[in-house]
Copies of this chain bind each other. A is one copy, B any other.
Amino acid sequence: MPKQVDHEERRRRIADAVCALIDEQGLEAATLRDVAARAEVSMGAVQRCFRTKEEMLHFAVAHIGRQVTERARARLLAAPAQSPASTVGHLAHELALLQTRYRAQARTWLAFLAAAAVHPALAAGLRTSYAELEALLARLIADATEQSLGPAADHPLWPAPERLDAAREARTLLALADGLTAHVLIGHRTTEEAEQLLHDHLVRLWA
């Protein structure tokens, strides 16, 4: 068995280069040559890792999706002490990729989002991430309402306290976060405004 540079490691390295280029100059800037240069590997190496450019982009989508979902999961496990409600808040803020240090991810994500509207193969990768994030949010919201309302207690005087539909709220929250992110990226909102709007939405949610 001949020498073997860890292929998976290299793939991730290339995917990072793809994302960096997309962040800086858009999707069409992610050419094989520039990606190879950015990843500091030869162009042939890129071609060996991925049979075609489309396959490379497909992997990059999954790659950035993993980064986001894993960060979300980590955030969840790291803060079990907080109230579920505030955890939802923090998570939503993180999903919205509003913080400056996630600006690059946000731009990349948006680029893939637009591309996915035309190339179904990319859409599949994005949907996977969205489904996972949504499930995470829904579970968290369900926990939060459970806790704030008490477990399945039918109050006699206030019989139908409009128990939240967790799935519905998770979907709405996710869409709102995406929309706000996009508006921030094109400069139609400041980060602060977006954060405020997201916060207000959550406040009303718990009310």
Partner-B contacts on A (CB < 8 A): 24-28, 107, 110-111, 113-120, 123, 126-127, 130-131, 168, 171-172, 174-180, 182-183, 185-189, 193-194, 197, 200-201, 204
Contacts and interface: CB of A to CB of B under 8 A. Distances in A.
A102 to B, nearest CB: 14
Q: Which of A115, A183, A185 has the most chain B CB within a 10 Å cutoff?
A: A183
Nearest to A103: B117
A27 B119 CA distance: 12
A126 B175 contact: no
B113 A186 contact: yes
A187 B113 CA distance: 11
Contacts of A118: 24-26, 107, 111
Nearest to A171: B197
B186 A172 contact: no
A45 B197 CA distance: 46
8 contacts: A26-B115, A107-B117, A111-B118, A113-B182, A114-B115, A174-B183, A176-B179, A179-B180
A117 B185 contact: yes
Contact of A172 (B27, B176, B187): B176
Given A27-B114, A171-B189, A178-B183, 11 more contacts: A26-B119, A111-B118, A113-B182, A116-B185, A117-B182, A130-B188, A131-B188, A172-B176, A175-B183, A175-B197, A179-B180
Contact of A127 (B116, B176, B180, B186): B186
Contacts of A186: 113, 116-117, 123, 126-127, 130
A47 to B, nearest CB: 21
A120 B185 CA distance: 10
